Structure formats: structure tokens, C-alpha cells
Structure 1
Amino acid sequence: MDSCTRYLIFFQYIGTKYLGVARIPPHQHWKRGVQNHLEEAVRRLKPVNPVSLTLSSRTDTGVHALSNSAHFDLQRRNGKPPFSEDVLVGSLNFHLKDEQIRVTRARRVSADFHARFRAQSRTYVYRVTLGASHYSQLPLTEAGLCWHPRSTIRTLDVGAMSQAAALLIGTHDFSSFRAVSSDLPFKSPVKTLDVATVRPGNSSLLTHFHREIPMWELTFKGRSFLYKQVRRMTGALVAVGLGQLSVSQLREIMEARDTLAYPNGLSAPADGLFLTAVDYREEDLQLPQQTSEEQRPSSGNLD
């Protein structure tokens, strides 16, 4: 019997309508996870083998991604050759139809490749706007895609935020930034944060109803993160920027190494959080031997 072909796909989604990226069991909820829709799209390619995606990175309800990744195996019927990468991308997007999910790239990888464990880093960007006392003051294009703290302050003390962010960089025990409700307390709280920056967003001033609305982007990069760690770090840094928390107080929270030391109500909501990159070593993506035999069926007829 012919062996399966393993693919690594990169995909993006607007997380507002999904219960996170992970698969939701049937009949458990009226909403589904992004994984449910991706697996259904793969099943429509009519593989011989059962379909199961392995995600590189989990995101919660309401969190978005510009680039998440997952691997899966696919064996075609009757000894047909593997799909080419571009045909696979086009076919999956055809079957995703109107879902707010798009597959952007695909790579054929070795049979022992693992999307989660081979990932070298993950990058998150959190988008924050100020000066909007109500969500209706934001452009429709930004609805659910940024956080607008209800504050009369129209600017952030980026200098203080950068000082606070510098305390987070490096290898630390991030227990204070792990969510209280985390169901994975056995995971090591020691993580390495390679990047923590605060900069004006690409659209640093959103013009809406003749008002200018400043936007900032907080970027965090590391190999892995604790549950809700990025949202809790963001909330603390924004509090520093608004003068609600001092740099020394943030240091004390971090050094407490206790999730209960984190102030109640400080964590940032899901809306403004984007997973923007999952990076791999190029050598890990190489096939031992590239096969040239590929078939290009139409998107609508993949029997």
C-alpha cells in the first residue's frame, strides 16, 4: 500500500467567530474551532487515511492569526501521486469557501516532521488603540481586531513601557504571567522571551469621523509561551504606559513568581492579539528526496 504524504500548511484566520484554533468535539458547542474547518476541507480531498491535523500553536477564542501552522498526512486513492503544494493550497481554500480562514502556503515534509516540536519560534503582535471611549468610534475595519482601553489618555508612555518590556526579555520564571485558570500547571513556567517591543502600528493614526486614533503594536517572540502569557504581559505593559503601574511594580509582580500576584482585571482581551509567525529551520523542511511526479486535479473534482 502506498505511504502517506506529510504536509506542513501555514494558514491565517480572523478568530472572532471561532472557539479558538483547536478542534471542538462534535455536538459540544454550536461554534467550532479553526481546526474543525481545516480538517473538513482536507476530508473533501477524499483521502484514504483518517484526517487529523497537528497544530503548531494553540490560540484562544477571539485570537487571530496571520500565520499559524499544522501538519497532516494524506494518502490518495488508487495509488495517485501526491498533490503538488500549490494545488493543495488552492483546493483547501476552495473547500473552506466563505470561512474566515485561508491557507497561505504548503510544504511537503518528511514523515517524522512535527509542526509543534520543530518550531523554533513564535511571534505575537498585540494591537492597541487609544482615544476611543467606545468601540463605535473605531472604523468597522478594526472591529474586533484591536484593544481600545477605555481611558481619556490619548498617548502611552512608550519609554516606560520599553523599560518594563526589557525586564521580560531573557529566560525567566513567568509564573506570574500564567493564567490562574490554566489547566496545565505541570508545564514549566520557565520560558525564554527573545523579543518584547512597543512601537507605533503600521497605521499609527487611524482617521475616523474626523478624529485621529493612535495605534501601537506590542511584539513578543519566543519559542513557546504559557497559557495567556502574552495577554497578561500586554495588559501589564499597557498599564505601565497609562501610568497605572510603575516599572518597579511590574518587576515585583514578575519576581513574585506567583500567578496570584498579577492584579485582577489587568489582562488584555483577546481582540487585539495576532499570531504573526511560526518559524522553522529550512533544513527541517527539506525532503530526503524530492519526487517530481505530481498530479494537478481541478479544485472542484478531486476524486
Structure 2
Amino acid sequence: MQRYLIFFQYIGTKYSGVVKAPPHQLNKTGVQNHIEEAIQRLKPINPVSLSVSSRTDAGVHALSNSAHFDLQRRNDKPPFTEEVVIDALNFNLGTEQIRLTHAHRVPDDFHARFRAQSRSYTYRIALGITHHTLLPLTDHNQCWSLPNTELDVEAMREAAALLVGTHDFSSFRAVNSDILFKNPVKKLDVLSIQRGSSFGQAHFHREIPFWELTFTSRSFLYKQVRRMTGALVAVGRRLLSVSQMKELLEARDTLAYPQGLVAPAHGLFLTKVHYRESDLQLSRQPSCTDNSKD
């Protein structure tokens, strides 16, 4: 039995989220469904189960999510190399908008979720977009399009500074989410607001201002990033003041969050899951270098 840590990307538009879709949700699949099917086609003798490090919702994208799984080959064959795992699973994923980027063979007690040291998300915003045809196709469903031609970015940065550090983020978690089970006190290590760019700007007919909000923490509450983004954009649009943002944080009450402010899912990207290098070390063992799928 060999445990693998994989890193993978996906465009989340058509998926119900990264984790498996519940059986009662017909015609919906999560990214996990497709990766597990790809692993199953390698014909392991053990049950296939993918443990994802970072949950993302329907419509949210990832440039680097991670997960671990175990794989035991038939007839005591040696483990696949990391390169074979990447190539074989990408082949098996076919035309799905999911791709493995790299893999590690890790110790059998490694856990993708609990060994993660931090996670980073980036939220992309495009300004001056009154109709979706004003966006390059490469950015469609991959940013939040606002009709505003400008935001008060300095006020947004002032409000963002209030959120950095260790706080009770109850006001920024979704209503009816794991309130009884998850500690709302989190440490937000980074919240930066910087100029961004369009994926297809160089070949488009007009200049579009893009902004990127980047968040880094060991973990986040359910919908915390989208709710923080929505509140910061409200500050930028002068719908909330910096002092009101402070009051919202200090309220520590999910019901204090104003209705209609949550940023849409399609502008959000999970960009990095960080691990200690020492956690990824594994003494080299004999491994299979062929690409057979038996």
C-alpha cells in the first residue's frame, strides 16, 4: 500500500464543489468524483477514497488544491512513481476541467488536510463590466464583474488591516454553518489588495481594471473568504464605512452580516496549500516506471 499526496487544478464552473456530490443530487458531480474514478481505472485492490485538504464550493476554482489517497497494486507489484500517477490520472480524466500538477509519495500517516500549514485564496474582480460580452472569454465565470469603474482601494486596505491577525470571525461565516462544531477564532496571516490582470487582456479590444484580494490562513470558516470579500468591496463602493467594518467584526454574530453582500463563487480561486518539506519526505522504495493500468 502506498499513500500519495497529489496537487490538482480545476475550473469549478460545472462541478458541485470539490467534494463528492451527495447521491440524492442527480446529475451533479464533484471534482472528487472524477479523480476517484480516474484512480479506480488504475485497478487498485484497495477501496478508492480521496481525502481532500481544502473544501471549495460549487463554482469556486483551484490553481492548487491537494488530497491524499492510498493505492495498492495487484500481485505485490511495486508502487507507481509520481510521474506515472500524474500521467495516468490526467489521461483517465479525459476532457474534464481537472488536471494533476504534481504528486508525492508520502508516509502512510500523512493527512492532506491536517498536515497543511496554510491555505491561500485569491479573489479576482473586474471593473467597468456592464455586460458579460465586455469580458474576454478567458475571464468569463472566473472573476466578479462590477459595473463600477473604480473602487476606493485605500479605504478597502484600511478595512482589510482590521481583519488581519487573530479574531473571532463569527460575523463572516455562513448562516447555519458548523456553528456548534468549529472554533470561529482564526488567525488571518495575509490580506492584500493588489492590481490584477485579465487572462486575455493582451488580445482584447479594451483595457479592463482588475483587482485581486489574497487571503492566507491555516484554515477558514465556511464562506469566510467570500463574505470578507463582499464586505471589502462594499467598503470600496462606499456602501459600508471602515468603522462599520470594525463594528461588523466586533459583533461576532453571523446575523450581523448585511444581506446581499456575499461575493459570488466564480471569482474565487484556491491558489496554494502549503506543507512543511519535512512532512513530504519518504525514503525511496522500489517503484514501477511502466504506464500499465492493470
TM-score category by the smaller chain?
A: over 0.9
- Offset at 1:9? 0.2
- Offset at 1:135? 1.6
User: Equivalent of 2:100, from 103, 127, 145?
Assistant: 103
- Offset at 1:297? 2.2
Tell me the TM-score normalised to structure 1 length: 0.94
Corresponding pairs, count: 294
Partner of 1:146: 143
- Offset at 1:63? 0.2
- Which 5+ residue runs of structure 1 have no aligned equivalent? none
1: distance between equivalents of 2:8 and 2:158? 34
2: distance between equivalents of 1:27 and 1:261? 33
User: Equivalent of 1:21, from 15, 18, 39?
Assistant: 18
Q: Is the 8 A contact 2:229 2:263 kept in 1?
A: yes
Q: Deviations over 1:179-226 (max 9, x none)?
A: 113145421100110000100004499478743211000000000000
Partner of 1:249: 244
- Offset at 1:68? 0.2
2: distance between equivalents of 1:224 and 1:209? 37
Name which of structure 1's ranges 134-143 and 215-224 shifts more when overlaid on structure 2.
Answer: 134-143
Partner of 2:293: 302
Structure 2 residue 167 is matched with structure 1 residue 172: yes
Write out aligned runs for 1:158-237 (5 A): 158-203=153-198, 206=201, 210-237=205-232
Q: Is the 8 A contact 2:164 2:191 kept in 1?
A: yes
Tell me the TM-score normalised to structure 2 length: 0.96
Structure 1 vs Structure 2: percent identity of aligned residues? 67
1: distance between equivalents of 2:26 and 2:185? 34
2: distance between equivalents of 1:193 and 1:267? 19
What secondary structure sits across from 1:148 in the alignment? strand
Partner of 1:76: 73
2: distance between equivalents of 1:59 and 1:275? 8
Partner of 1:50: 47
1: distance between equivalents of 2:58 and 2:248? 26
2: distance between equivalents of 1:195 and 1:167? 11
- Offset at 1:25? 3.4
2: distance between equivalents of 1:82 and 1:205? 41
2: distance between equivalents of 1:248 and 1:116? 36
Q: Is the 8 A contact 2:139 2:199 kept in 1?
A: no
Q: Is the 8 A contact 1:205 1:215 kept in 2?
A: no
1: distance between equivalents of 2:203 and 2:134? 7
Name which of structure 1's ranges 59-68 and 135-144 shifts more when overlaid on structure 2.
Answer: 135-144
What secondary structure sits across from 1:226 in the alignment? coil
Quickly say closer, same or farther: Cα 1:97–1:209, change in 2 above 3 A. Answer: closer
Q: Is the 8 A contact 1:206 1:214 kept in 2?
A: no
Structure 2 residue 36 is matched with structure 1 residue 39: yes
Q: Is the 8 A contact 1:20 1:33 kept in 2?
A: yes
1: distance between equivalents of 2:293 and 2:9? 24
Partner of 1:66: 63
- Offset at 1:24? 1.6
- Which 5+ residue runs of structure 2 have no aligned equivalent? none
- Offset at 1:140? 1.0
Partner of 2:116: 119
Q: Is the 8 A contact 1:232 1:266 kept in 2?
A: yes
User: Equivalent of 1:290, from 262, 284, 294?
Assistant: 284
Partner of 1:278: 273
